Structures are given as C-alpha cells and as structure tokens.
Structure 1
C-alpha cells in the first residue's frame, strides 16, 4: 500500500509539472532552499565540533557573516546561528549592530526574531548607538519598499509602525534628539524624506475611495430598486409579495437587504476617507482602518448581491428546470474563487497590518 501511494504521488506530481511548469520550478526552488539550509546546519555543527564553542563564537562575531545575512534579510541563517549559539546576543555591540542592520533593511521577521532573543527595548547603555538606530529608521531608501504591502498608503503605514516600534524599543525622548548636521529632529527628517510617499499615499487613498464609493453607489441603486420589484410580483389589493412563503424568496429578501445595508455602510466609510485631512499620523491607524472597513462592507455587499441574484433566478426558473440550482451555485462561486486567489492574500495583509501588525509581535522560540 505504501509503494502504491508513493507511485501515485509521483505520477500525479509528474502530470502536474508537465502541464504547469511553474509548479515544477517552485518545487525545485523549495527543494534547493531546504538543501541549502540543511547544508548550513551541518556546516555549523561540524565547525562547532572541530573548533569548539569559544572559537566558533569569536569567528561569528568577527567575520560579520551573521550581520551580512541580516542585512540581506536571510531569516533562516540568522535564526540557525542564534539557536545554535545564543551566546551571540550576550555581546552588546553585536546585538546593537544586528538590530541596526535589521531596521535599516526593514526585515520584519528578523526584527521579531531579534526582539525575542534579546530585549532590545532595554539596550540603552550607549546613547550614540541608539541615536544611530533612530537615524536608520528615519532615513528613506529603496530597501524600505516591501513586496507584501498593498498600495502607497499601507507602505507609509508600515514605515510609521517601524518608527513607532523603534521609538518605543529605545527611548521615547530620542524622537526629539537633534541631528548634528542640520539640527532637525528624527521625526522631522522622517516626514521630510517621505513627502513623495505621503503624496502618493494621499492620491492612492483618494482614487481607491472614489472608485469603491462609485461601486457601492451602484449596488445601493440596484438593491433599492430590487426591493420594490420583487420576483413574482405583488398582490394587487394588499401589495404583499405573492411568493412570500417561498424559501428562495426569503433568501432573496435577506440577501438584498444585506446588500443594501452593507453597501450604504461601505459608501459612508469611503466618504469618511475622502473627507479626511490626510495628515501623516492618520496613515498609522485611522485611514487604514476606514479603508479596510469600507472594503470589507463592499466585498460583503458584492457577495450577498450574488446570492440575491441567484435566488431570484432560481425563483423564476425552478418551476421549469429543477436542476437549475447546481449551475447557478457554480456560476456564483466563480467570482468568489477569483477573489480568493487574486485579492484575498493582499486583503488579509491589509487587515493584519492595521489591527494586528506582525512588527509588534515577537516570535515564539519554543512552541
């Protein structure tokens, strides 16, 4: 049975990789990544057994290999070195240099890892080191652009989160320390170097809110009209719907009501975004919160509108074609599947970045 299952897996894998070469390339990259990680672990173990722990620690501290990996964002290698040699974080200079490399490169997972291994918020013996750390988070470079952020507004939100978490990790008063060159505060330098990003974030918020509010207005119009033109018509004397006791009609009524209310809520949230003053501090929580809430209500209104349309179609056609339920359900599921594949990961990242940012949560070393 085990051999049969193994052969079946191999056959399915060969069939999938031949039809979709992209899957094969992803599998090869993952296999290469795992092999390199195992090779690095074996190399560290062998060097530790031959050289001994003191010499190995001296090698890692003086060679700069860990710091170079941290600056490049290689999470697995840094995690491997810190797990095998936790004594590295006992060296204050190494710990401070490591956190500066991580902050300068904007590596979220590495920052969470370093905060877990060492209480960075209490490293404050050398004030100049902490000032350099604030300089690193205040300066803007191409490394600050992350691929997992949707839009300029949420990129600015990530930058504000970096400034906040580093500011809290050291001293809140360091925010107002002066640069020696231009006598500006770290916050002033942070805002000054992100004027273009702030401009793009404002435009992105305005364009997205305008487009989404237009869609919400269309859904309001359709749902409001459908409430008075129900399938099957109304009784001429009392005005009561003729199909009131039909189950599909009740589904249509509930779904149409939800579509109307959720689209109204979404439009109101987008109007709040459009009428905002767009201060840079608003991009930390209030504007992303309003945008995610508006998108949530808009997606909900689109989904229940599909349910209302499907139920109305079933009411009209179910008497003649009783099998109409299956194709209508399949067709209604197509937009939901497309959204799940194309937009759901970015939407989840937006919600997580607003309500539960990974940057504020240290990793768990022991599970």
Structure 2
C-alpha cells in the first residue's frame, strides 16, 4: 500500500465509498486494522505498525487489542509480534475486554472448525488447541492465569467448557484408532514370531544347527525378524496404554502421533 494511502487511512481521511451493489468501505481507520487482524493479514498489520507503532495500543469496541483478536482467531503470525515489541507486551497482556476476558480466556475459547481442518482427528485437534492455550499461558503473568471473567470462569475452566465436544469425540477417535492399530500390530507380531521359530532351510539332522547359519542373508533375516518382533510387541503395549488412558486434557499434549509446530 502506498505511503499516501496509509496516511489517509490512519488519519481518518478515508470516508465511506458506496459501490453499485450498495457495499460501503470502513469509515474508521482503526476498524480496518482489527478486520485485518481477524482475517490474519499479517503483512498488512505489520506495515501499519511499522509506520505507526502507537497502533499496538488501539482497542476495539470490546476493549480488545489486535493481539487479543489474533489469539482468539489463532493467527500465529500476528501473535508472534508480541515477542518483537519487548517489554511493552507486559502492558498489553493484562488488558481485559468488556466481558472480563483476558488473553488466556480468549485462547481458551473454541475456534472455528476451518482453523482445524488441516488436522485429522478430534484428538489431534484438541492437542493443537491445548498447545495454543499453553503457549498463550506462557506469556501471561501468573496471577492472570487464575483470573475469572464476568461469568466467574478461570481460563482453564472456560477451556474445559468450550472443548467438551472435542474431549468426547477425541476419546472415541483415540479408542477406535488404537483398537484398529493394535489388531494390525498383533497380526505382525504373530507372523514374525512364527517366522523366528520356523528356521528357513531347516536344521542339520546330526548337529541340530540351522542349515544356513553361516550365510549372511540368513543372519540379516534373523536380526530383522527379531527387531520386527520387538517393535510390534512394543506397539501393542503402546496402544494398550492408550486404550486404558484416563483421557484427561493434559494427556492429549503427550500424544506424539504427529509433529505439532505452532509457534516460532
């Protein structure tokens, strides 16, 4: 965006312009900034803040800054700007909106489904939400992590209430997936166990030593078969532990079925 256009928007010179369809553009420049934050337009927000640093203090009608909006809508690019403004973030993070929600309350709220479309399975979706919640909690002053909003809910209580549906769906998904995987692991373990004790080529009738014990390919086969037996047995125990899990919120953070990269 050219510098002159940026100056016009910020200074309020941009007025309503009505299109043939009756649509009107924003009259208040600050609203454009909050719309950009809600849509996750990081480049637009960064350009505005670079030219006018005071914009980071702007709040909307709900007393939410652009960082509050970015946290609510899970826009990591805008959220990461908090790490670039230094100690000033300590003056922004305590801000509470008209409902008494701080940043951690907003992180606890359930996000739109399309923000989780790239994650398969309710359990992994809940994991991503928990990781986002933990990340925002890391920048909050300790006392604010236990603050209650106007509904008398702490951020953790709000998270549990907002994600109850994911908890139920996640437990069902984990049990179903673990059961199916354990069947496959048990089948593999059965096959490699039988192959381990059924020696290829048989035994020497006089000495009882396998016929191919001096061949390299035979040794490689035995080693690989033993490794397969060990790994399949370990998989069975792992899936069994998942089936007997408590399925508490914090347990989902420990699941390592995929790489969860969110921040930085």
SS at match of 1:127: coil
CA distance 1:139–1:253, change in 2 (3 Å): same
2:191 aligns with: 222
Deviation per CA, 1:190-222: give whole Å up to 9, x if none. Answer: 101211110111111111111111111111111
Distance 1:257 1:70, change over 3 A: same
Gaps of 5+ in 1: 1-43, 293-349, 362-367
Deviation of the 1:239 alpha carbon: 2.7
Alignment pair present for 1:117 and 2:84: yes
* 8 A Cα contact 2:93 2:140, kept in partner: no
When residues 245 and 148 of structure 1 are mapped into structure 2, their CA distance, relative to the original with a 3 A threshold, is same
8 Å Cα contact 1:217/1:263 also seen in 2: yes
1:235-263 deviation digits (Å, cap 9, x = unpaired): 22333221222232222112111111111
Q: 1:303-333: CA deviations, max 9, x gaps? A: xxxxxxxxxxxxxxxxxxxxxxxxxxxxxxx
Consecutive unaligned residues of structure 2, counting only runs of 5 or more, are 15-27
User: TM-score scaled to structure 2, two decimals?
Assistant: 0.79
Q: Please, what is the CA RMSD of the aligned residues?
A: 2.8
Query: Residues 240 and 84 (structure 1 numbering): CA distance in 2 closer, same or farther, change over 3 Å?
Result: farther
Distance 1:191 1:358 in 2: 21
- 1:86 equivalenced with 2:50 (yes/no): yes
Q: How far apart, in 1, do the equivalents of 2:241 and 2:249 lie? A: 16
The alpha-carbon deviation at position 125 of structure 1 amounts to 7.3
Does the CA contact (< 8 Å) of 2:108 and 2:155 recur in 1? yes
Match of 2:163 among 194, 204, 207: 194
Higher helix residue share: 1
The aligned counterpart of 2:235 is 266
TM-superposition CA deviations, 1:329-353 (whole Å, max 9, x none): xxxxxxxxxxxxxxxxxxxxx1x21
Distance 2:52 2:227 in 1: 57
1:270 CA displacement: 1.1
Q: Structure 2 CA distance, aligned partners of 1:81 and 1:127?
A: 20
Aligned-partner Cα distance in 2 for 1:121–1:266: 45
Q: Report if the CA contact (8 A) 2:36-2:44 is conserved.
A: no
Could you tell me how far apart the structure 2 residues matched to 1:111 and 1:144 are? 19
Q: TM-score, normalised by structure 1?
A: 0.59
TM-aligned CA distance change 1:235 to 1:69, over 3 Å: farther
Report whether the alignment pairs 1:160 with 2:130.
yes
Q: Which of 53, 66, 74 matches 1:106?
A: 74
Show the 5 A alignment for 1:340-355: 350=258, 352-353=259-260
Runs of 4+ residues over 6 Å off in structure 1: none
1:276 pairs, out of 232, 245, 251, with: 245
Identify the residue that residue 212 of structure 1 maps to in structure 2.
181
Equivalent residue runs for 1:234-313 within 5 Å: 234-285=203-254, 288-289=255-256, 292=257
Distance 1:126 1:108 in 2: 19
How many residue pairs end up in the alignment?
243
Q: Shift of the alpha carbon at 1:87?
A: 4.0
**Does the C-alpha gap of structure 1 residues 131 and 85 become closer, same or farther in structure 2, counting only changes over 3 Å?**
closer
Q: Secondary structure at the match of 1:64?
A: helix
SS in 2 for 1:168: helix
